[in-house]
Amino acid sequence: MSEAIVFSNARMVLPDEVVRGSLSVAEGRIAALDGGSTAAGIVDLENDYLLPGLVEVHTDNFERHLMPRPKVQWAEMPALLAHDAEVAAAGITTVFDALGVGESDTESLRGSTWTKTLATLDNCAAKDLLRADHHLHVRCELPAPNTIELFEPFHGHPRVSLISLMDHTPGQRQWENIEVARIYYTGKKGWSAEKFERQVAHAATLQAQYAEPHRRHFVDYCRTHGIALASHDDTTVAHVEQAHAEGASMSEFPTTMAAASAARERGLATVMGGPNVVRGGSHSGNVAAAELARHGLLDILSSDYVPSSLLGAVMRLVADDIFTLPQAVATVTRAPAKATGLGDRGAIEPGLRADLVRVRMTELADGSRHAVVRGVWREGRRVL
């Protein structure tokens, strides 16, 4: 267990305000605010911000390290350690590694087994090699014939804390615009134009055959095992109503204002991408996260494919006068922790885990301001 620490001269971002003072840590937990003992190690934060450790519910970053180029496989352990170091450097102390299951291409990550990857994650955690607390978010591609089969290594795994239901059939949800889908699959996935056309032609058949039975299977699995359920790319009110009836607690990346409004009315937390905020819009041409925030419809930010976008998005929401700093920080700490049932973290409050991030605002020569992570502690132990 970590030693006692006092953080002094801090601007602590609390749930409802920013307070200057000190914070003491004992046995991995926040002991007191404006407390402290001269016997404890003292860390002078020099007026930097002190935030709760960030909670990341949806990042494809591990997959990116496992396959840095199309069909280029990387060894599991170095990929995991590089991913872990990157998320910690972004201030993330709790990460839900999003791993996709279900794809017809057996040379892809999501079309092959995750058995060795899960064993590597467990072994590295057991050897205390990881900086962040790793959970698993299994992304299930419903129209894929092999989704249930490829989910088998995750069955009963104690790290599985979240399952999302996806349907990337071109022509609906995220890919309503076929041309945007073409750019994505031929660019990132490396598909030829001919392969894209073949896949689009076959997609509707697969969706009709597999999507609904697979959906029922995973909804039942979540209910039986007490695992949080998320919908994905909701576009219509009907999509949200179905997710709500199935027990979903989150609506990930709704593509329209109507879907986000329906999620709010039915008590689903709306998750949007940090890159969407930082870039000023969706790369798929869907509703902007900042627009949802202005209408009070943004609950949680995820880094999606850029871990550093979490802090960047927080500061962008504040700079644009959309959220106060405590409100913006809540979208990457308290709200995701609550939505995934992690009641022991997500805020600077006595008794909670001492997952903490030191952040300094730095201005560059061009006048731009950036949040720089200068220290990270998980359960009171410095990991960065």
The model carries a pTM of 0.91
**CB 32, CB 5: distance < 8 Å:** no
Alpha carbon distance 281, 312 (integer Å): 14
CATH 3.20.20.140 fits 54-339, yes or no: yes
Q: What is the amino acid identity at position 71?
A: K
CATH fold of 5-50+351-382 reads: Urease, subunit C; domain 1 (2.30.40)
Question: How distant is the alpha carbon of residue 183 from its chain centre?
Answer: 24
DSSP 3-state of 271: strand
Q: Could you state, in order of their start, the residue ranges of all structural domains in the chain?
A: 5-50+351-382, 54-339
Instruction: Based on DSSP, count helices (H) and strands (E) in the chain, helices before strands.
Output: 13, 16
d(CA 105, CA 277): 32
Walking along the chain (384 residues) 10 residues at a time, the average pLDDT comes out as 86 97 96 72 94 98 94 95 98 98 81 95 98 98 94 97 88 58 65 70 79 96 97 94 97 95 97 95 84 97 96 97 98 97 97 98 91 98 97
pLDDT of residue 36: 57
